[in-house]
A and B are shown apart, each in its own frame.
Chain A
Amino acid sequence: MNHQTRVYDDIFEMLPDEDNPTPLVRINRLNPEPGFTLYAKLEWMNPFGSVKDRAASYLLRQMEEEKGLRPEGANGPDDPGKGIVEPTSGNTGLSLAGLAGVRGYPMKAVLPNKVPLEKKLMLRLAGSELEVVNDDLCPSPGMGEGSINLARTIARAQSDRYAMPHQYENENNVRAHMETTGPEIWKQTAGEITHVITSLGTCGTVSGLSKFLKAKNPDIRVIAVAPSEGHDVPGLRNKSQLAVTTLYDESLIDDVLEIDYELAYTRAAELFSREGLRAGPSAGLIFEGGRIVAQRDKTGLGVMIFCDDAFKYAKSFAKHMPELVEGTAPQNQQPEPIGALKE
């Protein structure tokens, strides 16, 4: 492993830590407040393209140590092995599938149908089996989601074949950020960080960052952004959707900013075209949070966690910004219809 020359023996060596951090890039043209420095932490530079590589690698290691994962064929050619089953909206599954594939473990992702097709196909490419659940059938407040219950069932009924890390309840999800993301940011900003801005999903990122950074400096403000009700920003949860995770701890967060979810898409587009940052929708929403905080607090150094990039979300962008589709066909011809537009 050599981070200087970037020559590695396998993909595991590329996983981020203090010595191999994901980049911080300053926001320039789009910063609304000159006295407030805003940095984006580009989590799409991780090996599997999202912040979830961090939690996934910690979860996989724990499953190896505690649940006896076994590569396919370990006990003869008919041995299907023992791998991972996990409910996932895409990114955790992709990281887990990629890492599991390197080790030879089978992977089964259980996911709601509303996950974009691109993410489902990426999971298949990474070697994962899919179980797709129609969560829309269950308009029942307060209940565990269908995909989580289905994954739990598989892990219980086929415990010889699958173990479930349960990212929504597993403290290793928090620990990954206490031991990697937090120390990286502290070192990259030479301890001058005043604000960290991130989103709510499993809440592993926000909880882990808060625990590490507030231990270093209790004055650091931890800001979470949440999309407005009825949102379709993949991977994010607003406050009414947080019952599903046990990693959400209100006391670790200074502010939760609820933001109009359409801004997830328009801000992401601005980031790509004006800062060269190919931000996905969640990063767009977090950037809006950064803008609000910069304008409110006037001075400081804020770090925004840009969870993943735009490439998996072309259909979602087209749905929310139909003007993007204009001009994609020769004159006098209709643009090719894409799935998300037909809804």
Chain B
Amino acid sequence: MSEYANPSVLVSTDWVHERLNSGIKIVEVDVDTQQYGAGHIPGAVAFDWTTQLQDQTRRDIIGKDEFEQLVGAAGISNDDEVVIYGDNNNWFAAYALWVFKYYGHDNVKLMNGGRSKWLDEEDKPLTTDVPSPAPTTYTVKGTNPAIRAFVQDVLGVVKDGNANLVDVRSHDEYSGKVIAPPGMSETAQRGGHVPGAKSVPWVTAVNPDGTFKSRADLEKIYFQDAGVIEGKDTIAYCRIGERSSHTWFVLKYLLGLPNVKNYDGSWTEYGSMIGVPIER
């Protein structure tokens, strides 16, 4: 993994296994929240992306106070080294990592391959014991707005063309054939994509075992094949901002693009706005 631009944000299952009782804090974030209860890495706590990482009233990530409360109750201190993992190729784990980074917790990493890889390796223990960590007083010292895009930022790029836009949804969502994947309740008023966006479905970045592809493969996928330009600022988006956190992670940390933002309003916001330009 040393090949990546910022290798310190990604750790292997073996790395985690060797440090299970070393004081690192492990957090599981799944799409399917039943998975944690059935068995998880010993010592790991679980965050529920629907109820704990999103504001329950307005559409937003959780506020500063809620983040402090959530992380403090999980026994995590400001100086702790946090490792996040989850199902579905770390999809929602990457979203949680983005929220941690947004609230200024720098020492946070993803476990490469997520829970599927851990399950595949017979030497890796699983438990159903839910830990009861001693609560801490966690204080957010500042936010990191540079990693978050709002719709004004996206419209600015549409107007000036001065940044890469990466649409990480499926090809059918990008083309406007469907507005959302089948069965999704959150949707938009219109199908299509932001003008100028390049289409690279998020899952293109991972190997069959759930680990990230090599840096050379990722460079080919994003730079050579999709036409993402290396030196430019970049905004990644999807439907509700979770899948794009995964691509945000790839572009920012594995490929080292200078200024990458996740647009968490994503298509459910953009595709519902009056009068904004849409391409199909």
Contact = CB atoms under 8 A, between A and B. Distances in A.
Given A143-B88, A143-B89, A156-B126, A150 B182 contact: no
Given A131-B34, A156-B119, A139 B39 contact: no
A134 B32 CA distance: 7
B208 interface: yes
Contacts of A230: 182
B181 interface: yes
B119 A149 contact: yes
Contacts of A149: 32, 35, 87, 115-116, 119
A292 to B, nearest CB: 28
Contacts of A133: 32, 34
B39 A158 contact: yes
B203 A140 contact: yes
Contacts of A153: 35, 38-39, 115, 119, 126
A153 B117 CA distance: 12
Interface string A123-153: 0000000010110111111111010011011
A202 B127 CA distance: 29
Contacts of A139: 170, 181-184
B31 interface: yes
B91 interface: yes
Interface residues of A, number: 22
Interface in A31-59: none
A215 interface: no
B126 A136 contact: no
A139 B172 CA distance: 12
Contacts of B189: none
B162 interface: no
Nearest to A142: B203
B247 to A, nearest CB: 13
B32 to A, nearest CB: 5
Chain B: number of interface residues, binned into ranges: 20 to 34
Interface string A164-200: 0000000000000000000000000000000000000
A146 B87 contact: yes
B128 interface: yes
Contacts of B170: 139, 141
A224 B126 CA distance: 39
A145 B274 CA distance: 38
B38 A136 contact: no
Given A150-B38, A152-B119, A157 B32 contact: no
Nearest to B184: A139
A140 B183 CA distance: 13
B127 A157 contact: yes
Contact of A137 (B31, B39, B119): B31
A318 interface: no
A141 B208 CA distance: 10
Contacts of A146: 31-32, 35, 87
B88 A140 contact: yes
B182 A136 contact: yes
A231 B116 CA distance: 27
Contacts of A142: 203, 208
A154 interface: yes
A156 B127 CA distance: 9
Residue with the highest number of chain B CB atoms closer than 10 Å, among A134, A137, A139, A230: A139
Nearest to A156: B126
B191 to A, nearest CB: 15
Given A138-B32, A141-B203, A146-B32, A156 B183 contact: no
Nearest to A131: B34
Interface string B173-210: 00000000111100000000000000001010000101
Nearest to A151: B38
Interface string B68-92: 0000000000000000000111010
Nearest to B202: A140
A141 B89 CA distance: 11
Contacts of B34: 131, 133, 150
20 contacts: A131-B38, A134-B32, A136-B182, A139-B181, A139-B182, A141-B201, A142-B208, A143-B88, A146-B32, A146-B87, A149-B87, A149-B119, A150-B32, A150-B34, A150-B35, A154-B39, A156-B126, A157-B40, A157-B127, A157-B128
8 nearest A-B residue pairs (beta carbon): A157-B39, A136-B183, A139-B181, A157-B126, A153-B39, A153-B38, A146-B32, A156-B126
Interface of A: 131, 133-134, 136-144, 146, 149-150, 152-154, 156-158, 230
Interface of B: 31-32, 34-35, 38-40, 87-89, 91, 115-116, 119, 126-128, 170, 181-184, 201, 203, 208, 210
Given A133-B34, A137-B183, 18 more contacts: A131-B38, A133-B32, A136-B183, A138-B88, A139-B182, A140-B203, A143-B88, A143-B203, A146-B32, A146-B87, A149-B35, A149-B116, A150-B34, A150-B35, A153-B126, A154-B39, A157-B39, A157-B40
